[in-house]
Structure 1
Amino acid sequence: MKTETTPKMTVLHAPVGVRSIVSSLVAFFIVASSVTFLLDRGQEAQVQMAVEHGRQEMQVKLEAGLQEPAMRGTTDAGDAGEECNWSRGRWVYDNMSRPLYSGLKMRIFNGSLISFKALEYNATIDFYWSPLLVESNSDNPIIHRVEYRIIRADRIERHASVWRDADIIVFNSYLWWRKQKDDMRMKVMYGSFEDGDARLDEMEMIDGFEIALKKLTEWLGENIDKNKTRIFFAGSSPTHSWASNWGGEDSNKCLNETEPIYKIGYKAATTDYSLMAKAKSYFKTLEPKGMHVQILNITELSDYRKDGHPTVFRRQFVPLTKEQIANPASYADCTHWCLPGVPDVWNEFLYGYLMYK
Structure 2
Amino acid sequence: MEMASARRRANKAQCGGGGDQQIALWGACVLLSALSLLVAAASSGFGAARLTAREVGALVRATTTATTTGAAAVATRAVNDGGGSRYCSDDDDLVRSMSVDGEWVRDAAADRRRGALYEPGQCPFVDVGFRCRENGRPDGEYAKWRWRPRRCTLPSFDATRLLEILRNRRLVFVGDSIGRNQWESMLCMLASAVAAGESSNSIYEENGSPITKHKGFLSFRFRDHNCTVEHYRSPYLVRRGRPPRRSPKRVGTTLQLDAMDSRAARWKDADILVFNTGHWWNQERLQRLGCYFQDGKKLRLNMSVEDAYQRAMNTLQKWIQKEVNAVKTLVVFRTYSPAHVRVTDGGGGCAAETLPELNTSRIALHRWPGVLNPTFDEAPEKKLHVLNVTLMTAQRRDGHPSVYNNVVPSSSRTTATPAGQRADCSHWCLPGVPDAWNELLYALIVRRFS
Evaluate the alpha carbon distance shift between residue 108 and residue 313 of structure 1 in structure 2; reply closer, same or farther with a 3 A threshold.
farther
Instruction: Provide the rounded CA distance (Å) in 1 between the counterparts of 2:432 and 2:241.
Output: 31
Q: Decide which of 262, 265, 268 is 1:158's aligned counterpart.
A: 262
By how many angstroms is 1:178 displaced? Answer: 3.8
Contact 1:130–1:159 (8 Å) recurs in 2:
no
What's the TM-score, normalizing by structure 2? 0.52
- Partner of residue 336, structure 2: 236
Matched, 1:256 2:336: no
By how many angstroms is 1:72 displaced? Answer: 1.2
Contact 1:186–1:204 (8 Å) recurs in 2:
no
Contact 2:216–2:233 (8 Å) recurs in 1:
yes
By how many angstroms is 1:106 displaced? Answer: 1.3
- Partner of residue 113, structure 2: 97
Contact 1:283–1:292 (8 Å) recurs in 2:
no
Matched, 1:208 2:317: no
Matched, 1:272 2:368: yes
By how many angstroms is 1:132 displaced? Answer: 0.6
1:236 aligned partner, one-letter code: Y
Evaluate the alpha carbon distance shift between residue 211 and residue 182 of structure 1 in structure 2; reply closer, same or farther with a 3 A threshold.
closer
Evaluate the alpha carbon distance shift between residue 124 and residue 323 of structure 1 in structure 2; reply closer, same or farther with a 3 A threshold.
closer
Instruction: Provide the rounded CA distance (Å) in 1 between the counterparts of 2:229 and 2:336.
Output: 21
Instruction: Provide the rounded CA distance (Å) in 1 between the counterparts of 2:361 and 2:89.
Output: 21
Q: Decide which of 379, 382, 398 is 1:291's aligned counterpart.
A: 382
By how many angstroms is 1:268 displaced? Answer: 3.2
Instruction: Provide the rounded CA distance (Å) in 2 between the counterparts of 1:352 and 1:313.
Output: 31
Would you say how many aligned residue pairs link Structure 1 and Structure 2? 278
By how many angstroms is 1:171 displaced? Answer: 0.6
By how many angstroms is 1:272 displaced? Answer: 2.5
By how many angstroms is 1:114 displaced? Answer: 0.5
By how many angstroms is 1:151 displaced? Answer: 0.4
2:303 aligned partner, one-letter code: M
Evaluate the alpha carbon distance shift between residue 264 and residue 188 of structure 1 in structure 2; reply closer, same or farther with a 3 A threshold.
closer
Instruction: Provide the rounded CA distance (Å) in 1 between the counterparts of 2:391 and 2:406.
Output: 27
For the residue of structure 1 that corresponds to 2:438, the secondary structure is helix
Contact 2:305–2:370 (8 Å) recurs in 1:
no
- Partner of residue 310, structure 1: 401
Matching of residues 136-151 of structure 1 within 5 Å: 136=240, 150-151=254-255
By how many angstroms is 1:260 displaced? Answer: 1.4
Matched, 1:106 2:204: yes
By how many angstroms is 1:107 displaced? Answer: 1.7
Evaluate the alpha carbon distance shift between residue 198 and residue 182 of structure 1 in structure 2; reply closer, same or farther with a 3 A threshold.
closer
Q: Decide which of 377, 381, 391 is 1:300's aligned counterpart.
A: 391
Contact 1:239–1:334 (8 Å) recurs in 2:
yes
- Partner of residue 30, structure 1: none
By how many angstroms is 1:162 displaced? Answer: 1.4
Contact 1:153–1:189 (8 Å) recurs in 2:
yes
By how many angstroms is 1:179 displaced? Answer: 4.4
Matched, 1:63 2:78: yes
For the residue of structure 1 that corresponds to 2:311, the secondary structure is helix
What's the TM-score, normalizing by structure 1? 0.64
Evaluate the alpha carbon distance shift between residue 210 and residue 269 of structure 1 in structure 2; reply closer, same or farther with a 3 A threshold.
closer
Instruction: Provide the rounded CA distance (Å) in 2 between the counterparts of 1:331 and 1:212.
Output: 31
Gapped regions of structure 2 (runs ≥ 5): 1-18, 25-73, 119-191, 210-214, 243-251
Contact 1:133–1:156 (8 Å) recurs in 2:
yes
Evaluate the alpha carbon distance shift between residue 75 and residue 328 of structure 1 in structure 2; reply closer, same or farther with a 3 A threshold.
farther
For the residue of structure 2 that corresponds to 1:97, the secondary structure is helix
- Partner of residue 347, structure 1: 438
Larger fraction in helix: 2
Matched, 1:117 2:221: yes
- Partner of residue 334, structure 1: 425
- Partner of residue 170, structure 1: 274
Q: Tell me which of the two structures has the higher relative contact order, counting C-alpha pairs closer than 8 angstroms and 6 or more residues apart.
A: 1
How large is the Cα RMSD of the aligned pairs? Answer: 4.2
Identity %: 27
Larger fraction in strand: 1
Evaluate the alpha carbon distance shift between residue 342 and residue 69 of structure 1 in structure 2; reply closer, same or farther with a 3 A threshold.
farther
- Partner of residue 132, structure 1: 236
Contact 2:96–2:387 (8 Å) recurs in 1:
no
